[in-house]
Amino acid sequence: MRPGMVFMDIGCGDGFFTIPAAEIAGASGRVYAADIDASAINRLNKKATAKSLANISAKIGTGEETVFCEACADIVFYSMVLHDFRDPAKVLSNARKMVKPNGRLVNLDWKKKRSVFGPPVRIRFSEEHAKNLIEAAGFKVENISDAGRNHYIIMAIP
Protein backbone atom coordinates (compact mmCIF):
# COMPACT_ATOMS: atom_id res chain seq x y z
CA MET A 1 0.00 0.00 0.00
CA ARG A 2 1.11 3.50 -0.87
CA PRO A 3 -0.54 6.92 -0.87
CA GLY A 4 -2.89 7.41 -3.80
CA MET A 5 -3.74 3.73 -4.24
CA VAL A 6 -7.21 2.24 -4.68
CA PHE A 7 -7.83 -0.64 -2.25
CA MET A 8 -10.82 -3.02 -2.21
CA ASP A 9 -11.61 -4.87 1.02
CA ILE A 10 -14.24 -7.49 0.22
CA GLY A 11 -15.65 -9.13 3.33
CA CYS A 12 -14.27 -6.22 5.35
CA GLY A 13 -16.11 -6.77 8.63
CA ASP A 14 -15.84 -3.65 10.77
CA GLY A 15 -12.68 -2.44 9.05
CA PHE A 16 -9.70 -4.14 10.67
CA PHE A 17 -7.77 -3.69 7.40
CA THR A 18 -9.97 -1.03 5.79
CA ILE A 19 -9.09 1.71 8.27
CA PRO A 20 -5.28 1.30 8.04
CA ALA A 21 -5.53 1.04 4.24
CA ALA A 22 -7.47 4.33 4.15
CA GLU A 23 -4.88 5.99 6.38
CA ILE A 24 -2.09 4.89 4.05
CA ALA A 25 -3.99 5.69 0.82
CA GLY A 26 -4.57 9.22 2.09
CA ALA A 27 -6.69 11.92 0.50
CA SER A 28 -5.41 11.06 -2.97
CA GLY A 29 -6.38 7.38 -2.60
CA ARG A 30 -9.64 5.53 -2.22
CA VAL A 31 -10.78 2.51 -0.22
CA TYR A 32 -13.88 0.52 -1.08
CA ALA A 33 -15.26 -1.95 1.45
CA ALA A 34 -18.12 -4.43 1.37
CA ASP A 35 -19.59 -6.83 3.88
CA ILE A 36 -22.88 -8.68 4.18
CA ASP A 37 -23.19 -7.66 7.85
CA ALA A 38 -24.97 -4.29 8.13
CA SER A 39 -23.87 -3.80 11.75
CA ALA A 40 -20.21 -4.31 10.75
CA ILE A 41 -20.53 -1.68 8.00
CA ASN A 42 -22.15 0.66 10.52
CA ARG A 43 -19.21 0.18 12.94
CA LEU A 44 -16.75 0.71 10.08
CA ASN A 45 -18.45 3.96 9.09
CA LYS A 46 -18.34 5.18 12.71
CA LYS A 47 -14.61 4.38 12.94
CA ALA A 48 -13.97 6.21 9.65
CA THR A 49 -15.89 9.25 10.88
CA ALA A 50 -14.06 9.25 14.22
CA LYS A 51 -10.73 9.27 12.34
CA SER A 52 -11.96 11.84 9.78
CA LEU A 53 -11.35 9.41 6.91
CA ALA A 54 -13.34 10.65 3.94
CA ASN A 55 -11.74 8.28 1.42
CA ILE A 56 -13.76 5.15 2.34
CA SER A 57 -16.85 3.98 0.47
CA ALA A 58 -18.46 1.14 2.41
CA LYS A 59 -21.54 -0.82 1.40
CA ILE A 60 -23.62 -3.72 2.56
CA GLY A 61 -23.39 -6.48 -0.01
CA THR A 62 -22.15 -9.92 -0.90
CA GLY A 63 -18.87 -10.59 -2.62
CA GLU A 64 -20.82 -12.31 -5.38
CA GLU A 65 -22.70 -9.07 -6.13
CA THR A 66 -19.92 -6.56 -5.52
CA VAL A 67 -18.11 -4.87 -8.40
CA PHE A 68 -17.28 -1.32 -7.34
CA CYS A 69 -15.74 -0.38 -10.69
CA GLU A 70 -13.84 -1.94 -13.57
CA ALA A 71 -10.04 -1.99 -13.83
CA CYS A 72 -9.73 0.57 -11.04
CA ALA A 73 -8.20 -1.30 -8.06
CA ASP A 74 -4.53 -1.42 -7.23
CA ILE A 75 -5.27 -4.10 -4.62
CA VAL A 76 -8.29 -6.38 -4.17
CA PHE A 77 -8.00 -7.87 -0.70
CA TYR A 78 -9.68 -10.78 1.07
CA SER A 79 -8.95 -11.40 4.73
CA MET A 80 -9.89 -14.83 6.02
CA VAL A 81 -13.19 -14.86 4.14
CA LEU A 82 -12.75 -16.67 0.82
CA HIS A 83 -14.15 -19.89 2.32
CA ASP A 84 -17.22 -17.99 3.60
CA PHE A 85 -18.55 -16.93 0.21
CA ARG A 86 -21.42 -18.89 -1.32
CA ASP A 87 -19.63 -18.83 -4.71
CA PRO A 88 -15.91 -18.10 -4.31
CA ALA A 89 -15.35 -18.48 -8.06
CA LYS A 90 -17.82 -15.65 -8.75
CA VAL A 91 -16.23 -13.47 -6.06
CA LEU A 92 -12.80 -13.96 -7.65
CA SER A 93 -14.23 -13.29 -11.10
CA ASN A 94 -15.49 -9.97 -9.73
CA ALA A 95 -12.00 -9.27 -8.36
CA ARG A 96 -10.59 -9.87 -11.85
CA LYS A 97 -13.01 -7.23 -13.19
CA MET A 98 -12.02 -4.68 -10.55
CA VAL A 99 -8.23 -5.06 -10.55
CA LYS A 100 -6.08 -2.81 -12.73
CA PRO A 101 -3.87 -4.49 -15.34
CA ASN A 102 -0.89 -3.79 -13.06
CA GLY A 103 -2.84 -4.42 -9.83
CA ARG A 104 -2.75 -7.27 -7.38
CA LEU A 105 -5.07 -9.69 -5.63
CA VAL A 106 -4.15 -10.52 -2.03
CA ASN A 107 -5.77 -13.38 -0.13
CA LEU A 108 -4.92 -13.75 3.57
CA ASP A 109 -6.50 -16.90 4.93
CA TRP A 110 -6.52 -19.67 7.50
CA LYS A 111 -4.26 -22.67 7.01
CA LYS A 112 -6.21 -25.89 6.68
CA LYS A 113 -5.13 -27.22 10.06
CA ARG A 114 -6.46 -27.30 13.59
CA SER A 115 -6.09 -24.19 15.68
CA VAL A 116 -7.52 -23.01 18.98
CA PHE A 117 -9.59 -20.34 17.18
CA GLY A 118 -10.92 -19.68 13.71
CA PRO A 119 -13.41 -21.48 11.51
CA PRO A 120 -13.78 -25.26 11.47
CA VAL A 121 -10.98 -26.97 9.53
CA ARG A 122 -13.52 -28.64 7.22
CA ILE A 123 -14.51 -25.29 5.65
CA ARG A 124 -11.02 -23.78 5.36
CA PHE A 125 -9.31 -23.70 1.96
CA SER A 126 -5.86 -25.19 1.63
CA GLU A 127 -3.25 -23.06 -0.06
CA GLU A 128 -3.49 -25.31 -3.13
CA HIS A 129 -7.29 -25.07 -3.34
CA ALA A 130 -7.23 -21.27 -2.97
CA LYS A 131 -4.44 -21.05 -5.58
CA ASN A 132 -6.50 -23.13 -8.03
CA LEU A 133 -9.58 -20.93 -7.53
CA ILE A 134 -7.52 -17.76 -7.98
CA GLU A 135 -5.86 -19.05 -11.15
CA ALA A 136 -9.20 -20.23 -12.57
CA ALA A 137 -10.43 -16.62 -12.23
CA GLY A 138 -7.65 -15.43 -14.54
CA PHE A 139 -4.92 -14.49 -12.09
CA LYS A 140 -1.30 -15.63 -12.03
CA VAL A 141 -0.17 -16.55 -8.51
CA GLU A 142 3.14 -14.84 -7.79
CA ASN A 143 3.72 -15.99 -4.25
CA ILE A 144 2.29 -18.13 -1.46
CA SER A 145 3.84 -17.61 1.95
CA ASP A 146 3.25 -18.18 5.63
CA ALA A 147 1.67 -15.32 7.52
CA GLY A 148 2.27 -16.67 11.00
CA ARG A 149 1.52 -20.07 12.43
CA ASN A 150 -2.17 -20.19 11.44
CA HIS A 151 -2.39 -18.17 8.22
CA TYR A 152 -1.06 -17.96 4.69
CA ILE A 153 -1.06 -15.20 2.12
CA ILE A 154 -1.41 -15.51 -1.64
CA MET A 155 -0.35 -12.68 -3.96
CA ALA A 156 -1.54 -12.78 -7.56
CA ILE A 157 -1.53 -10.54 -10.61
CA PRO A 158 -3.97 -10.37 -13.53
- State the total domains in the chain: 1
70-128 residue pLDDT tens: 999 999 999 999 999 999 999 999 999 999 999 999 999 999 999 999 999 999 999 99
The pLDDT confidence band at residue 32, using thresholds 50, 70 and 90, is very high
Q: Does 53 reside within a domain?
A: yes
| 73-79, strands of its sheet edge to edge | 56-60, 30-35, 6-10, 73-79, 99-110, 151-157, 140-146
The pLDDT assigned to 149 comes to 94
Q: Does 78 reside within a domain?
A: yes
pTM of the predicted structure, to 2 decimals: 0.95
Q: Does 20 reside within a domain?
A: yes
Q: Does 1 reside within a domain?
A: no
**Where in the sequence is the domain holding 95, given as residue range(s)?**
6-157
Q: Does 150 reside within a domain?
A: yes
Q: Does 120 reside within a domain?
A: yes
Rounded mean pLDDT of the chain? 97
Question: What CATH code is carried by the domain that includes residue 58?
Answer: 3.40.50.150
The pLDDT assigned to 141 comes to 98
